[in-house]
Amino acid sequence: MKSKVAITGIGQTRTRLKRRDVNFPEMMHEACLLACEDAEIAPEAVDCVIYGSGPEFFEGVGEPELWACEFTFGTFKPHYRIQTGGTVGASTGIAGYYMAASGLYDTVLVVAGNKLSESSVQRGLSLVYSPTMGRDFAAGAPSAVANQTRIYQNKFPHVKDEHFAKIGTLMRKNALNNPNAQLKLPQISEDMMLNMAWLSTPFRLLDSCPTSDAACAMILQNERICASSERPKAWVQAVSTISDGVNYPQRDWSDAVALKEASRRCYEQLGITDPLEQLDVVELYDAFTSQHLMWYEGLGLAPDGKGCELVDSGAIAMNGKLPVNPSGGVLSNNSIGASAMIRQAEVALQIMERAGDRQVPDVQVGLAHGWGGAIQFHTVMILSKDQDIQDSFARQKSRASVV
């Protein structure tokens, strides 16, 4: 019988453009140590380690999990590597969830990260694709997503560059409250966004995420170990990983069919029929501003072509109906390897009421998203405050009735 699983410890490293003070294994060790300390367990209590990082090009080392094994407490223990492109952090967290839920292990350490300062990121992202089937993507991430965005704007011409400027401004303002965010711009404004140099039309410089050195780790424990503990925890209620094809005929890059399917499966498991009402916070993998709109629609928060209405109405702001990326998101901190796991960790912190200045009041249920590959990998994880998510839904209804 599947066991319930909770996140009980979280470790995020200091995020910088360049972490010159540590090498890659040392940075991963930093996150692992912080997670164990946060969960109040010794490294020896870890039964299994799930390790994740982006393409090996970024480390310049084959099988980097072996390089980092001792530093991630994996010596003489089951130690697995996950690699799914940009979703790797989320996939690592989901793999750890399954390990604990299966009953195979009681306490699982998941860790993911990259030091992007030590490689040519866009060259690496271009070379991972097939020279025949993937040549449309071999221009780095900005040009590929610019193409996706032009397709979207052609379908929905009411979506303007001003919407992207609003999103970018909001995310960078949220990042000012996050001590782990790399890109902090107190002077950010929509005018500033719209007057930056071109990156790849329709994107200007700040429509894109930065490159970062960072790692994130989490402790996941099954209910046998953690249910009786009074320590704050976030219960994993549903997970899904779906991949679209890479470049098949008539593929519409702007239609996030894999995300629609991933979210549908999670909602169906939990009885979520109106995610805009039943979710309290969302952490999106927003490497580019325009993707907010496509991902809102993929998550069922808005009909196709209507994602911009959530931006215009203020629904996604910190004081809005459904705050999105209180952390500042990937637009403010992107190491690729850790980015999707940080989305899970940030939702967990919100549920535990430990998010500090970026805390959203009374979070009961939250969703973490990841994307990667040729804009075709999508992951979803839904977490709740209560072991039985129906209790969390009941708290939401009670709150609504008081209002």
CATH code for the domain of 10: 3.40.47.10
More confident residue, 60 or 178: 178
More confident residue, 61 or 185: 185
- The mean per-residue pLDDT over the stretch 167-189 comes to 97
| % of the chain beyond a pLDDT of 70 | 95
Question: How would residue 229 be classed by pLDDT, with cut points 50, 70 and 90?
Answer: confident
Q: What is the pLDDT of residue 371?
A: 95
Question: How would residue 140 be classed by pLDDT, with cut points 50, 70 and 90?
Answer: confident
Range of the domain at 43: 5-120+211-226
Average pLDDT of the chain? Answer: 93
Residue 396 lies in a domain: no
Instruction: Measure the CA–CA gap between 289 and 298, rounded to whole angstroms.
Output: 15
Instruction: Measure the CA–CA gap between 334 and 81, rounded to whole angstroms.
Output: 20
User: What pTM value is reported for the model?
Assistant: 0.96
Closest CA to 330 of 318, 339, 320, 319: 339
Q: Which residues pair with 234 in a beta bridge?
A: 7
- The mean per-residue pLDDT over the stretch 13-25 comes to 91
Q: Is the pLDDT of residue 141 over 90?
A: no
Give the contacts of 174 (CB within 8 A, at least 6 positions apart).
318, 325, 326, 327, 328, 329, 332, 358
Q: What is the pLDDT of residue 97?
A: 98
Instruction: Measure the CA–CA gap between 286 and 333, rounded to whole angstroms.
Output: 10
Residue 197 lies in a domain: no
Q: What is the pLDDT of residue 21?
A: 94
Instruction: Measure the CA–CA gap between 68 and 61, rounded to whole angstroms.
Output: 11
| % of the chain beyond a pLDDT of 90 | 82
Model confidence over 34-44: pLDDT tens digits? Answer: 999 999 999 99
Residue 256 lies in a domain: no
Give the contacts of 277 (CB within 8 A, at least 6 positions apart).
none
Closest CA to 23 of 54, 62, 64, 75: 64
Residue 155 lies in a domain: no
Q: Is the pLDDT of residue 162 over 70?
A: yes
Residue 222 lies in a domain: yes
Q: What is the pLDDT of residue 136?
A: 58
Q: Is the pLDDT of residue 138 over 80?
A: no
| Helices H / strands E in the chain, number of each | 14, 11
Provide the number of structural domains found in the chain.
Answer: 1
Residue 176 lies in a domain: no
Q: Is the pLDDT of residue 151 over 80?
A: yes
Q: What is the pLDDT of residue 60?
A: 81
Model confidence over 72-124: pLDDT tens digits? Answer: 999 999 999 999 988 999 999 999 999 999 999 999 999 999 998 887 777 76
Q: Is the pLDDT of residue 254 over 90?
A: yes
Residue 314 lies in a domain: no
Residue 13 lies in a domain: yes
Q: What is the pLDDT of residue 27?
A: 96
